[in-house]
């Protein structure tokens, strides 16, 4: 008998402990499930760089101890070598001034020699080695033609132009106007212009075309190209400090939308956060764009012409102090929906339609509120203060039930001092009873059946609505 009891106990333990183990595993799994995985890396779009290389006859001019074309050719080939295996990068090459001898002047002498494609670095090197400077400098024409050089394949891409030249426009084109047009259309980002020994006076002409770098001496060209290339390829870090009314960067959990200031195209959308160290979190932005940032508070806050310093951690500052607003309804059931309009006092523009019993943030200040009850309630000078919740409250509604003998015309009116204001028109198509939730107050209803073609058939009845009460009105 004793052995039998021991056997039963052992069997019970065997059956019991796996249950405990499974319960522990389930608990552990649940904890892992609710934890967040490591954040994904910032998405790096494909960068396409179109090199526009000056092969006009002036590139045979001496620069230090050798010709400009010899120095530029050798350094450019080294650059292509370094870029050949860079991920998310495609290159193309357009030359100008290399097909027709000057004079005479051929302002159409520009050609895409190596189109965009993976693994084309060898073709670019080969073309640069054997092309010879001959003609003139049609910069504007070359920029116009580059529209067709960039593939239209729908990929998320950054289109960058790098112009390498030793002279300014020699035809009738306007490089500044063409550059601005291409940027406004979002075809490309602001171009890079690499001057090959340009005079100071000539260099000023390129300020409106794009980011200008001038190598005054041959030995500077490699450094200048590397600096420009670093800016062309890499993003830079930034943080957005959203200040409260005490000038502390603690406002958070709002969406920040970044638009390209020139083209107006949206570039980034982040929901701002405070990181684990209590600081605004770091984001990645393309330093080639000038930005218009919209902080999507209610109402939104806009910061224009944001320029980033490449290679540095940029601080973007904006003031957007916020408080909260909620409307409560005593005695209302959860399935009774009620909305209210929040308006700016300055122009009475509706900036939000908010649902009752839901908290929403607003910039601090004064607002006007219109609650969509029957009748509507107007509340002026609603004050939103920093980090505080302003609570509005409406009285519990009552109900009126209108018993109709058939369809007809009429409406419900509320007493407003010495006058009566329309609350709502009755449904003239309905021959059923109509039910309305009304705020407490004094009302009257007027009604005339559709078939009664005489005003003397009109019915007027006064009634009073109390919170939580029900009134039945016979319209006959």
- Which of 186, 212, 233 is the last residue in one of the domains? 233
92 and 217 in one domain?
yes
The Cα 231–Cα 143 span in angstroms is 20
Q: Where are the alpha helices (DSSP H) in 234-283?
A: none
Q: Quick one: average pLDDT of 345-355? A: 95
Residues 315 and 335 in one domain: no
pLDDT-derived band at 207 (thresholds 50, 70, 90) equals confident
**Of 434, 293, 307, whose CA–CA distance to 374 is shortest?**
434
End-to-end CA distance of the chain: 91
pLDDT for residue 64: 87
Tell me the average pLDDT across 246-269: 96
CATH assignment of the domain containing 444: 2.60.40.1120
Nearest partner of 250 among 304, 179, 321, judged by Cα: 321
Predicted confidence band at 38 (pLDDT cuts at 50, 70, 90)?
confident
Predicted local confidence at residue 249, as pLDDT: 96
- Given pLDDT bands bounded at 50, 70 and 90, which one contains residue 74? very high
* 330 or 210: which leads in pLDDT: 210
For the cut 90, the answer to whether the pLDDT of residue 35 exceeds it is no
- The residue ranking higher by pLDDT, 337 or 439, is 439
Tell me: do 266 and 279 sit in the same domain. Answer: yes
Parallel, antiparallel, or unpaired for β 46-54 and 89-96? parallel
Q: Which domain, by its residues, includes 338?
A: 322-393
Residue among 397, 385, 295, 301 at smallest CA distance from 356: 397
Question: Do 121 and 270 fall into the same domain?
Answer: no
pLDDT at 36: 76
Check pLDDT > 50 for residue 10: no
pLDDT at 18: 38
* Amino acid 335: pLDDT: 59
Q: What is the band of 8 on the pLDDT scale with cuts at 50, 70, 90? A: very low
pTM: 0.84
Last-in-domain residue among 173, 199, 233: 233
CB 75 within 8 A of CB 175: no
What is the C-alpha to C-alpha distance for residues 136 and 146, in angstroms, rounded to an integer? 18
> Phi and psi for 431 in degrees, rounded to 5?
-105, 15
Whichever domain contains 332, its CATH number is: 2.60.40
The angle, 0 to 180 degrees and rounded to 10, between the axes of the packed helices 221-233 and 68-83 is 40
Q: How far apart are CA 367 and CA 383, in angstroms?
A: 7
Identify whether residues 358 and 272 lie together within a single domain: no
Which pLDDT band holds residue 298 (cuts at 50, 70, 90)? very high
Q: Which of 191-195, 404-408, 463-467 has the lowest mean pLDDT?
A: 404-408
24: pLDDT strictly greater than 70 = no
Q: What is the pLDDT of residue 333?
A: 66
pLDDT of amino acid 67: 95
Q: Both 370 and 226 in a single domain?
A: no
Whether 110 and 133 map to the same domain: the answer is yes
Residues 101 and 222 in one domain: yes
In a domain, residue 406? The reply is: yes
What pLDDT does residue 153 have?
Answer: 87
pLDDT above 60 for 3: no
Report cis status (omega within 30 of 0) of the bond before 346: no
Sheet holding 398-404, edge to edge: 434-438, 398-404, 470-475
Q: Token digits for 44?
A: 């790096």
Is the pLDDT confidence value at 22 over 80?
no
90 and 228 both lie in a single domain: yes
Q: Region 332-361: what's the mean pLDDT?
A: 90
Q: Is 186 left (phi over 0), alpha (psi -120 to 50) or beta?
A: left
214 and 241 both lie in a single domain = no
- What CATH number does the domain containing 186 carry? 3.40.50.410
Considering only residues 472 and 275, tell me which one the structure prediction assigns the higher pLDDT: 472
Rounded-to-integer distance, Cα 467 and Cα 441, Å: 9
Mean pLDDT of the region 116-134: 96
Question: Per-residue b/e over 420-456, b at no fewer than 16 CB within 10 Å?
Answer: beebeebeeeeeeebebebbeeebebbbbbeeeeeee
pLDDT confidence of residue 348: 94
Residue 68 CA to residue 321 CA, distance in Å, equals 57
Q: What does the pLDDT look like over 414-426, one tens digit per residue?
A: 999 889 999 999 9
323 vs 364: CA distance, rounded Å: 6
Contact indicator for 228, 304 with CB cutoff of 8 Å: no
The number of distinct structural domains making up the chain is 4
Structure tokens at 84: 């050949």
User: Which pLDDT value is given to residue 5?
Assistant: 38
**Helix/strand/coil (H/E/C) assignment for every residue in 370-424:** EECCCCCEEEEEEEECCCCEEEEECCCCEEEEEEECCCEEEEEEEEECCEEEEEE
Residues ≥6 apart with Cβ < 8 Å to 401: 433, 434, 435, 470, 471, 472, 473
Q: How large is the average pLDDT for residues 201-225? A: 89
**Residues above pLDDT 70, as percent of the chain:** 92
Are 198 and 244 found together in one domain? Answer: no
Tokens 């006859």 belong to 57
Q: Which of 3-17, 41-55, 293-307, 429-443 has the highest mean pLDDT?
A: 293-307
Q: How far is CA 187 from the centre of its chain?
A: 19
Banded pLDDT at 75 (limits 50, 70, 90): very high
pLDDT mean over 344-362? 95
- Token pair in block for residue 151: 């593939």
- Average the pLDDT over each of 61-65, 84-88, 152-156 and give the range with the smallest value: 152-156
Domain final position from 186, 211, 233: 233
Cα dihedral 198→199→202→207 (10° resolution): 70
408 and 451: one domain? yes
**12 in a structural domain:** no
Compute the mean pLDDT over every residue in the chain, rounded to the nearest whole number: 89
Q: Is the bond leading into 299 cis (omega within 30 degrees of zero)?
A: yes
Q: What is the pLDDT of residue 448?
A: 95
The pLDDT score that the predictor gives to residue 160 is: 96
What pLDDT digit, counting tens, does each position of 97-124 carry? 999 999 999 999 999 999 999 999 999 9
Q: State how far the alpha carbon of 326 is from the alpha carbons of 79, 100, 357, 358, 441, in Å.
A: 60, 74, 6, 6, 24
């Amino acid at each position: 008998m004793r052995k039998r009891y021991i056997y039963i106990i052992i069997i019970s333990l065997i059956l019991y402990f796996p249950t405990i183990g499974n319960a522990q595993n389930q608990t552990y799994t649940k904890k892992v499930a609710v934890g967040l995985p490591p954040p994904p890396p910032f998405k790096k779009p494909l960068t396409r760089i179109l090199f526009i290389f000056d092969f006009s006859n002036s590139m045979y001019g001496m620069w230090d101890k050798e010709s400009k074309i010899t120095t530029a050719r050798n350094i450019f080939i080294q650059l292509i070598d370094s870029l050949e295996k860079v991920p998310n990068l495609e290159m193309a090459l357009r030359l100008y001034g290399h097909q027709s001898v000057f004079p005479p002047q051929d302002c159409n002498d520009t050609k895409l020699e190596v189109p965009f494609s993976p693994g084309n670095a060898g073709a670019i090197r080969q073309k640069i080695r054997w092309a010879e400077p001959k003609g003139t400098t049609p910069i504007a024409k070359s920029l116009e033609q580059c529209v067709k050089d960039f593939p239209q394949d729908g990929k998320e891409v950054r289109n960058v132009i790098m112009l390498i030249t030793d002279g300014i426009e020699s035809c009738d084109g306007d490089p500044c106007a063409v550059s601005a047009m291409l940027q406004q259309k979002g075809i490309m980002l602001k171009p890079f212009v690499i001057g090959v020994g340009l005079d100071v006076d000539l260099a000023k002409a390129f300020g409106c075309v794009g980011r200008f770098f001038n190598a005054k001496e041959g030995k500077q060209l490699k450094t200048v190209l590397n600096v420009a290339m670093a800016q062309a390829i890499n993003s830079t870090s930034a943080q957005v400090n959203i200040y409260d009314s005490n000038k502390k960067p603690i406002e958070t959990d709002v969406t920040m939308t970044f638009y390209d200031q020139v083209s107006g195209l949206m570039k980034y959308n982040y929901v701002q956060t405070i990181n684990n160290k209590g600081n605004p979190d770091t984001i990645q932005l393309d330093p080639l764009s000038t930005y218009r940032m919209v902080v999507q508070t209610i109402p939104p806050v806009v910061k224009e012409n944001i320029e980033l310093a490449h290679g540095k951690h940029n601080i973007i500052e904006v003031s957007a102090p916020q408080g909260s607003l909620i409307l409560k309804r005593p005695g209302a059931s959860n399935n009774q929906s009620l909305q209210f309009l929040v308006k700016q006092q300055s122009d009475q523009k509706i900036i939000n339609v908010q649902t009752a019993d839901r908290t929403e943030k607003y910039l601090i200040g004064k607002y006007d509120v219109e609650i969509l009850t029957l009748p509507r309630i107007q509340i002026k000078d609603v004050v939103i203060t920093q980090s505080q919740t302003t609570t509005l409250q409406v009285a519990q509604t009552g109900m009126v039930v209108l018993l109709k003998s058939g369809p007809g015309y009429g409406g419900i009116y509320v007493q407003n001092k010495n006058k009566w204001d329309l609350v709502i028109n009755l449904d003239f198509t309905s021959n059923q009873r109509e039910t309305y939730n009304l705020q407490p107050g004094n009302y009257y209803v007027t009604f005339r059946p559709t078939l009664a073609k005489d005003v003397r058939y009109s019915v007027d009845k006064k009634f009073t609505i109390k919170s939580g009460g029900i009134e039945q009105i016979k319209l006959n």
